[in-house]
Amino acid sequence: MTFDLRIAVVCSSNQNRSMEAHAVLSKKGFKVRSFGSGNQVKLPGPAQDKPNVYDFGTTYEEMYKDLLSKDKNLYTQNGILHMLDRNRRLKSCPERFQLCYEQFDVVFTVEERVYDQVVEELSLRTPVDNTTAHIINIDVQDNHEEATIGAFLICEMALMMAQSTDLDNDIDELLQEFENKAERPLLHTIAFQ
């Protein structure tokens, strides 16, 4: 089954949370793209204050090889190589949301700071045809387990939205129903594109 909703999922570095949701939504038949909203792509390093930093556009393959050569054991143990392996099967490299001008029906974000960056970016753009984009934030901690849970929550919300015949009219009710069921607060706003 395929769905007509055009979906974007945005986290900070387009690595863990957005890519896990991208994988789940894609398997369910959604038209989905994933992005990061930060200035650079950051992955955990050997210490908290020593992250691995890459530019957007650096391929997942290049990151994989780089970390493999730096410390195969560390990056295998902490799951980063496994995550990069999944990512490179979905697309070639992390993409920055601010550089994409494609229109989406729904933009999911996974933390308030990212939500604010997406809302700000869309508010600065001149609308093309005034179609609405629903920007929805579901807080998801940046670890592998939470990314999996978050991806299923985002997918569940997307399925509810896909079944609506009038999303703009039904959105408030759907969000309320989802919030009660998932017991997670949501942020929502509309942007015109």
- Say what the pTM is: 0.95
Are 129 and 163 in the same domain?
yes
Residuewise pLDDT in 10s, the chain (193 residues): 668 999 999 999 999 999 999 999 999 999 999 999 999 999 999 998 999 999 999 999 999 999 999 999 999 999 999 999 999 999 999 999 999 999 999 999 999 999 999 999 999 999 889 999 999 999 999 999 999 999 999 999 999 999 999 999 999 999 999 999 999 999 999 999 9
CA 182 – CA 31 distance, rounded (Å): 24
Are 18 and 84 in the same domain?
no
**CA-closest candidate to residue 134, choices 35, 44, 8, 3:** 8
Are 111 and 18 in the same domain?
yes
Separation of CA 22 from chain center? 7
Segments forming the whole domain that contains residue 171: 6-38+96-192
Domains contained in the chain, number? 2
Question: Does residue 187 form part of some domain?
Answer: yes
**Residue burial 25-43, b: 16+ Cβ < 10 Å; e: rest:** bbebebebbbbbbbeebeb
Are 22 and 107 in the same domain?
yes
**CA-closest candidate to residue 94, choices 17, 52, 35:** 35
Are 153 and 69 in the same domain?
no
